[in-house]
Amino acid sequence: MGLTGKSVLITGGTGSLGKTLIDRILRGGAGEPRKVVVFSRDEAKQHEMRLRYLTARSSDELPVVRAARDLLQFRIGDVRDLHSVAGALRDIDVVFNAAALKQVPSCEYFPSEAVATNIGGAENIIRAIRDLGRPVETVVAVSTDKAVKPVNVMGMTKSMQERLFIAANLGCPGTRFVVVRYGNVLASRGSVIPLFHEQIRNGQPVSITSTEMTRFLLSLDDAVDVIFAALAEAGPGETYVPKVASARVVDIAEQLIGDRAIPMEVIGIRPGEKLHEILVSEEEGMRAYHHRNGYIVIQPGLPELRPDGLPAAPLCGEYSSADELMTPTQVRDLLRRRDLLIEKAPQLEAELLR
């Protein structure tokens, strides 16, 4: 399934992932949709996005600008509000649910807020489809490695969100609910690399929570790739997981610092953090398999949604960020390819030399 001729709603569409997803859709990455609705509660970010397309001048951006002017619509609303969600879902075929509270420490201090957005928001999408008869064809829920064996509020609420959407396949037989799950997105808002850049720019010690901490690493485009793959091929209740690189956070910091006289400071694990993240648990591994296109597919835990039974060659075992770590050289190469080394960011280097 692609997006050609479809009406698309992206909740949380002004976030880091939402912006890349919208750009890829407008470039025709999944077909030619009929309309694309950006649904979020931040009017300033919606205004910034609108202006970006209105003021773009480069030849590379012009096709996207034309598509945006024809297809893109903006809607202020909050997934916490059922009426707001129900109105946004009118005349929508495909939903990408990227709305979330995702900052681990913030969710630890305000757990009820995380519940309201990450769980209540999912319930509102399901209720609008099931109880109000919104004829949505597909919902793609965006999840996180923190939902696996969760130890923090953010992960617990995203784990519940996954289960709500998977179970919704039984109550909403006309809609296909699927999940995508991935790890840390390189340089996304609130992630560690922008923090390290800021500390290096200011000549401050780079803060490391633990020298043993590891994380999965992928780009925003990698994240959109797995979303498009799940949209095209996932069965009801399936979870798509990308096979991606992982690294020690201290190696990332060292490669960003380079030969600068900037120390690292170990500050201890923050509230709710893990040393290692897991994308597939050992229990899920028994019903997971390697997809031919480079993904891991987890079949739903509900047997009613597994018409063909368990996979013939299951993954067997968990998929952890502590497995098969990149070497420091490989980390540096990855950062260089993604233009994330400070030597690749002249404005940062200029400030360091000032």
Contacts 24+ apart (CB under 8 A), 250-255: 250/208, 250/211, 250/213, 251/326, 251/328, 251/331, 252/192, 252/193, 252/196, 252/217, 252/331, 252/335, 253/196, 253/206, 253/208, 254/328, 255/328, 255/331, 255/332, 255/335, 255/341
Is 146 assigned a catalytic role?
Answer: yes
Token readout for 12 is 């949380």
In terms of Cα–Cα distance, which of 33, 36, 30 is closest to 9? Answer: 36
> 309: helix, coil or strand?
coil
Q: In what order do the strands lie in the sheet with 184-185?
A: 184-185, 214-218, 245-248
Name the active-site residue from 102, 146, 158, 274.
Answer: 146
Residues whose CB is less than 8 angstroms from the CB of residue 353 and which lie 6 or more positions away in sequence, other chains included: none
Residues forming the active site: 146
